[in-house]
A and B are shown apart, each in its own frame.
Chain A
Amino acid sequence: MNFDYLLVRLGELTLKGRNRGKFESLMLGKIKQALTEYPELSYESAFGRVYIKLNGADGARVLSRLTDVFGIWTISPVLKARHDLEDIRKAALAVMEAHQPVPYTFKMSVKRAWKAFPHDSMEMNHLVGAHVLRNTPSLRVDVREPDVELRLDIQQQGVFVYCTVVPGAGGFPLGMNGKAMLLLSGGIDSPVAGWTAMRKGLEIEAVHFHSYPFTSQQATDKVIALAKRLAYYGGRIKLHLVPFTELQTTLAQQKQDHLIITLMRRSMLRIAERLAERSGALALVTGDSLGQVASQTLGSMNVIGRAAQLPLLRPLVMMDKLEIIRISERIGTYETSILPYEDCCTLFVPKSPATNPNLRVVEGIEHALGEQLERMVAEAVAGTDTVVMTAQGPEEKRAVPSAEDRWF
């Protein structure tokens, strides 16, 4: 069975006062953007809700796409019945039969917003509930803990009938809460951090550091693939590719092996901060998770974090690796993240990196490098290559058909 509508409930619980209007119009835009491949859909906004009329589109696919749109609380596939008892009964039975897994108990809940409807809620409860029971021998009523709740929403334009409520991604519509710069490595954590930030309504630009030829083109391709996946959630993502070879090899020659990660990370934050300033981002987002590696101990976070003035957001800081992996599988970045190409964060890793680096020593080394460090940071920023990623791939590539298209 295909449904008539999808009822989308926006994250209304998190909304207060004046924000609602902005939230709702932003949400409608995001929903439409995610569903551009279904031109047949039409949209009706209501208070905290959007009714999507399917007009024959595959409801299951549209629903599945919507579960990845931030700011959506829940989604229900809905049948619309006329103001006619038989039609309502038919629809009620149909939505109950379509419910998976097959429910054993149910209860009715009727909302009569349109008061001109001849039967009141109690009567409807009985008239429709009894019909469903008569036609579904295995079904019982349980008002306390039903497997499903069969809902009738009686409105002036018709009666909406549904029983399935699918949880959405939650959060805020993208861009609602400003912009941040994500430090994106090829690993498991940083894409998850990016997704988490995006779910909170942050628009993300990603920055990736590469040290060719110490890192390979595949490592960069991997990050491009990750950014592309994030763009599936965000529509479009700017990916800044920063040449880091000179900085990294210079730092590696300071004869301070145990501090190299600390030094490197501080330089990365400086570069990311400049890129953030250039594009108006007000925070840096990293995939740090407390205690996971040497650079993510509290001592390291302290010394590294001091290199940046912007707020450092670390959405994964209190999460376990397994939780992070679970999210990364769910959002479709895990398979890419575990590809084996080395990125620059794992290059030149010493046998015993400092877990509690001394800020004064670190600052001393940087001071000794002086203008050279400043010049290398500036050059890295200047040499940054920016690609705009969409869920389909790099944006400029789509315009011109590539030579290899003829083979496909």
Chain B
Amino acid sequence: MKTYYFDHSASTPPYESVIRAVAELMAEHYANPSALHRAGTDAGKLVERARTAIASLLGAAPSEVVFTSGGTESNNLAMKGILGQTGRKGKHLITTAIEHSSVHATAKQLESEGVRVTYLMPDAQGRIAAADVASAIAEDTALVSVMHVNNETGALQPIDEIGELLRDHPRIRFHVDGVQAVGKVPFDWARSRADLYSASAHKFRGPRGAGFLLVREGLKLRPLLAGGGQESDARSGTHNLPGIVGMAQALRLALESMPERRSRMYELRRRLLAYAKDISELVLNSPEDERVASPQIVNLSYPGMRPEVLLHMLEEHGVLVSTQSACSSKSLKPSRVLMAMGLGEARGAGSIRISFGDEHAAEDIDTLAERLRMTVAKLKPLERD
């Protein structure tokens, strides 16, 4: 049976050419990029070429690109890098109730260490209001951390508006978790007020274990890892050369084709939403309005049905989707994000996330919808309040 993979927000299938490049690089450039000999300096040059390539794709300076192991590390480095510095204890952090766990848990951790944290609540669309950021700003606010695209609902956050209002507060650092946005939502670092921007390669068809953090020129971060001082001391550890170069290629491929891919994905999203409207048991948790929704994520709830039941039944028919997020599926707890949106326990505990990508065509959405309808019909007699 053919498998329909609708979990692109969790991880994407890498580009064929990226897989080849990673394999070749592993075979040919195993030398440590920090080593002095020719093999090492050749590898080091490839790292720097990848840095320059990534920087120019996003409108950054090469020195503003810090390579990490992925989104979680980028987010940790951004937040702890700013707030973990001496003299920053007791400062104020503004973030939201709908951040990815790597931001949310970092905020909690910082809170336990004495940082004051404000968690902004979203509206029913899952969007944060820039005005709420403005009114949360205090004398001692050191960092604002808001994601670009929400990983559960796909809701687009007003990072440009927040950036604009932060222009009046030059001392406040602004971190944007761009993990779900890169390659799907346009972003121009040169024009942005963001000081820190996180990305993860495997979310845009690059290799796993590679990511980067854009760090505004002149901004110093306290490193998470002590060691050899790679990445201008911001991130020690031997460079993951195949991952880094593979990431640079994937980013180029993703950004070059973005306008065309975006319109295709919005097309698929429209098609899926139209089908979902016809299945009365399902409620849409993502924003309906395309202008505030990223193109690749659709979040639906079947109130009164445990989402993993839906997930496993769909899986039996070759359709892979996810519940709220991979990590918390066993806990049966309602989604923190949907609860923050005020959608209530039934919707919050019964959501599935469908996220698609380049390999999908309209017929795949038709298949998905048909199997979704069939599954819901089978489960109907088993609904619980």
Supplied contacts A407-B21, A408-B53, 17 more A-B pairs, CB within 8 Å = A61-B190, A217-B38, A217-B41, A218-B36, A221-B41, A335-B63, A404-B46, A406-B21, A407-B25, A407-B46, A407-B245, A407-B246, A407-B249, A408-B50, A408-B245, A408-B248, A408-B252
A198-239 Cβ-contact flags toward B at 8 Å (1 or 0) = 000000000000000000111001000000000000000000
Chain B positions within 8 Å of A407 at CB level: 21, 24-25, 46, 245-246, 249
Report B149 CB to chain A, min CB distance, Å: 25
15 contacts between A and B (CB under 8 A): A217-B38, A218-B36, A218-B41, A221-B41, A404-B46, A404-B49, A406-B21, A407-B21, A407-B25, A407-B245, A407-B246, A407-B249, A408-B245, A408-B249, A408-B252
Closest chain B residue to A406, Cβ basis: B21
Chain A positions within 8 Å of B50 at CB level: 408
Within B49-85, which residues are at the interface with A (CB < 8 Å)?
49-50, 53, 63
Top 9 closest pairs, chain A to chain B, by CB: A407-B21, A407-B245, A408-B249, A408-B53, A408-B248, A217-B41, A335-B63, A218-B41, A407-B25
Report A341 CB to chain B, min CB distance, Å: 9
B231-252 Cβ-contact flags toward A at 8 Å (1 or 0) = 0000000000000011011001
Within A277-309, which residues are at the interface with B (CB < 8 Å)?
none
User: Which secondary structure dominates where chain B touches chain A?
Assistant: helix
User: In the complex the two chains form, what is the Cα distance from A326 to B373 in whole Å?
Assistant: 67
Report B237 CB to chain A, min CB distance, Å: 19
Chain B positions within 8 Å of A406 at CB level: 21
User: Which secondary structure dominates where chain A touches chain B?
Assistant: helix
Counting chain B CB atoms within 10 Å of each CB, the highest count among A217, A404, A407 belongs to A407
Counting chain B CB atoms within 10 Å of each CB, the highest count among A216, A221, A408 belongs to A408
B1-27 Cβ-contact flags toward A at 8 Å (1 or 0) = 000000000000000000001001100
Chain B positions within 8 Å of A217 at CB level: 38, 41
Chain A positions within 8 Å of B49 at CB level: 404, 408
Show the binding face of A for B, using Cβ within 8 Å: 61, 216-218, 221, 335, 404, 406-408
Closest chain A residue to B188, Cβ basis: A58
Closest chain B residue to A100, Cβ basis: B167
Closest chain A residue to B40, Cβ basis: A218
Chain B positions within 8 Å of A221 at CB level: 41, 45
Chain B positions within 8 Å of A335 at CB level: 63
Report B164 CB to chain A, min CB distance, Å: 12
Chain B positions within 8 Å of A218 at CB level: 36, 41
User: In the complex the two chains form, what is the Cα distance from A408 to B53 in whole Å?
Assistant: 8
Chain B positions within 8 Å of A404 at CB level: 46, 49
Within B251-290, which residues are at the interface with A (CB < 8 Å)?
252
Report B72 CB to chain A, min CB distance, Å: 26
User: In the complex the two chains form, what is the Cα distance from A408 to B247 in whole Å?
Assistant: 9
Q: Are B190 and A216 in contact (CB under 8 A)?
A: no
Closest chain B residue to A216, Cβ basis: B36
Report B63 CB to chain A, min CB distance, Å: 6
Report A222 CB to chain B, min CB distance, Å: 11
B169-205 Cβ-contact flags toward A at 8 Å (1 or 0) = 0000000000000000000001000000000000000
Counting chain B CB atoms within 10 Å of each CB, the highest count among A218, A221, A335, A404 belongs to A404
Report A142 CB to chain B, min CB distance, Å: 23
Chain A positions within 8 Å of B190 at CB level: 61
Closest chain B residue to A221, Cβ basis: B41
User: In the complex the two chains form, what is the Cα distance from A180 to B198 in whole Å?
Assistant: 46
User: In the complex the two chains form, what is the Cα distance from A221 to B49 in whole Å?
Assistant: 13
Closest chain B residue to A405, Cβ basis: B49
